[in-house]
Amino acid sequence: MPSGNVSRRLFLSSSLPLLLQARSAAAARLPNIVYMYADDLGYGDVSCYGAKRVTTPNIDRLAAEGVRFTNAHSPSATCTPSRYALMTGEYAWRHKGTGILPGDASLIVQPGRYTLPAMLQRGGYRTGAVGKWHLGLGSGNLDWNGDIRPGPLEVGFDYSFIFPATGDRVPCVYVENHRVVGLDPKDPIVVNYQRNIGGEPTGKDHPELLRMQPSEGHADSIVNGVSRIGFMSGGKSARWVDEDMADTLTAKAVSFIEQSKAGPFFLYFATHNIHVPRLPNQRFVGATPMGPRGDAIVELDWCVGRVTETLERLGLTNQTLFIFSSDNGPVVDDGYHDQSVEKLGDHKPAGPWRGGKYSAYDGGTRVPFIARWPGRVKPGVSSALMDQVDLLSSLAALTGQKPPADAAPDSFNELPALLGQSKRARDHVVEHAGALSLIVGDWKVIRPNAGAKRSAGNETGNDPQPQLFHLSEDPGEKNNLAAKYPDKVKTLLARLEEIEKAGRSRP
């Protein structure tokens, strides 16, 4: 996995005295940065982007006080690839092994590599990761009962409180820095994704033990009355309670801010909400007419509010760049019967866009994206073409740094657009689902792909023939113009192939 020997040596040779000196010098001039990353939240799932059946006042306030982007994209239509690209500044589709990971996968970001947190750490920031990780841990045959490394601390974070993969995958435990939280050594954890080696009940064999029935898959080990993907045994005292996840993670995020208030700090807060299984805390149940999925959105908004309230209480609001986004587009039924389909009503999770999670259509990657920094970000709405892969280079520029030539190969410096100072940003973006797509200006081409037509109820965008859309005239991607403009298809597909073969898109 390329990262360059030069950049590896740069970070591996960093000494503590130099780091502390850099932090001291930076404290007076650099903003704190909070990046809050929702899970499976669609463009149309929050009220400032048009939702009517759910209200998100805290997210709406961020938008009112900052810049709300209408053409911002996650790097992929699924979770792990988006997170990989965010951390490394490199599109995940360039490498095998960067798809949706099982809970026992090895770390896919090589320690010592130039990453977003390592860059900020080098620039004087105290860096913290809280919440969903899903980039793998360890280097093979991981023992969950001992030191868990490499992990977040080996790729640029000073502190981490994470859950390893997703809420619907084992192991269902938190890991703080290098250790599972609350583990009883007399009840060791065993994890296996091939067979039930612990012999504990599964959803497949004992559906009577479940309080939420799976709709597809998700029939392995039962934790907290919910069957998951994969098998685990042991670790009873360490297992999370789903209804408390938002409270637990938000408390850790708040604590990190409080402990880092001298600044500057970078908080990467990757929420569980609104991924399945959707089991919001009882105080949010019934908050919307849409059942658990809608209620989980309200709980997510509460998490945002707790973070913004903390910044206000500590007098840090004007010193903090707060960015809010989602790792991919929305999905309704993603493996459990949770009334998400029956109670959807006229709510449109992807807003005006076609598709959603797993989709090559714009609903797969066009996501909410908001940046607030009072006094520096001018409030408004921006149609600038943005991609989360650009955050590494953009935040490097903000902190007076520049990625080495052999690092962050797909990350562009779009700081003026991020701060709302320019409505112009990158001239193209590659979307990633089953098929690759390329957007250049108003034109979008989807590369031919013979995969499945639907996944979890969403259109994948897969088609054995190329698809061409003019987005300003056809934002819903309903009219395939490939037959009418074959030369345009040929030109765009050739450019996509060029980007793919070059191994980089950053100049």
pLDDT digits (tens, 9 = 90+) for 232-278: 999 999 999 999 999 999 999 999 999 999 999 999 999 999 999 99
- Segment 350-364 shows an average pLDDT of 98
Crossing angle of helices 291-313 and 245-259, rounded to 10°: 20
Alpha-carbon dihedral of residues 201, 207, 208, 212, nearest 10 degrees?
A: 110
Res 388 pLDDT > 50: yes
Cis peptide before 277 (omega within 30 of 0): yes
Query: How far, CA to CA in Å, does 480 sit from each of 363, 441, 451, 485, 491?
Result: 16, 17, 18, 10, 16
Is residue 9 classed as helix, strand or coil in its secondary structure? Answer: helix
Question: Do 191 and 197 contact (CB within 8 A), yes or no?
Answer: no
Residue-wise pLDDT for 324-337, tens only, equals: 999 999 999 999 99
- Is the model's pLDDT at 370 over the cut of 60? yes
Q: What is the pLDDT of residue 35?
A: 99
Q: What is the pTM of this model?
A: 0.94
Question: Does 203 have pLDDT greater than 50?
Answer: yes
Confidence of residue 17 (pLDDT cuts 50, 70, 90): low
Among the residue ranges 21-30, 131-140, 494-503, the one predicted with the least confidence is 21-30
- Sheet of strand 265-270, all strands in order from the earlier edge strand to the far edge: 179-180, 175-176, 159-163, 126-132, 265-270, 32-38, 320-326, 369-372, 67-69, 380-382
CB 327 within 8 A of CB 83: yes
Q: How large is the average pLDDT for residues 474-499?
A: 98
**Is residue 7 scored above 50 in pLDDT?**
no
- Could you tell me where in the chain the CATH 3.40.720.10 domains are found? 5-189+234-418
Question: Average pLDDT, whole number, for the chain?
Answer: 95
Domain 5-189+234-418 has CATH 3.40.50.1100: no
pLDDT above 70 covers what percent of the chain?
Answer: 94
3-state secondary structure 103-156: CCCCCCCCCCCCCHHHHHHHCCCEEEEEEECCCCCCCCCCCCCCCCCCCHHHCC
Strand pairing of 428-432 and 436-440?
antiparallel
Please tell me whether residue 180 adopts helix, strand or coil conformation.
strand
Tokens of 381: 């709405």
Q: What is the CATH number of domain 428-502?
A: 3.30.1120.10
Which pLDDT band, with edges at 50, 70 and 90, does 26 fall under?
very low
Around Cβ 255, how many Cβ atoms within 10 Å?
15
What's the pLDDT band for 29 if we cut at 50, 70, 90?
Answer: confident
- The amino acid sitting at 419 is L
Q: How much is the average pLDDT of 338-361?
A: 98
| pLDDT surpassing 70 at residue 8 | no
Is 283:274 a contact under the CB 8 Å cutoff? no
Instruction: Check whether 5 has a pLDDT greater than 90.
Output: no
pLDDT at 73 over 90: yes
With a CB cutoff of 8 Å and minimum separation 6, the contacts of 250 are 302, 303, 306, 307
Question: Mean of the pLDDT values across residues 280-289?
Answer: 98
Contact 423, 380 (CB under 8 A): no
Q: Is the pLDDT of residue 4 over 90?
A: no
What average pLDDT score do residues 193-213 get?
Answer: 95
CB 45 within 8 A of CB 274: yes
According to CATH, where is 3.30.1120.10 located in the chain? 428-502
pLDDT at 10: 47
Coil, helix or strand at residue 81: helix
Res 507: pLDDT: 86
Cα separations (Å) of 503 from 88, 179, 402, 493? 14, 36, 19, 16
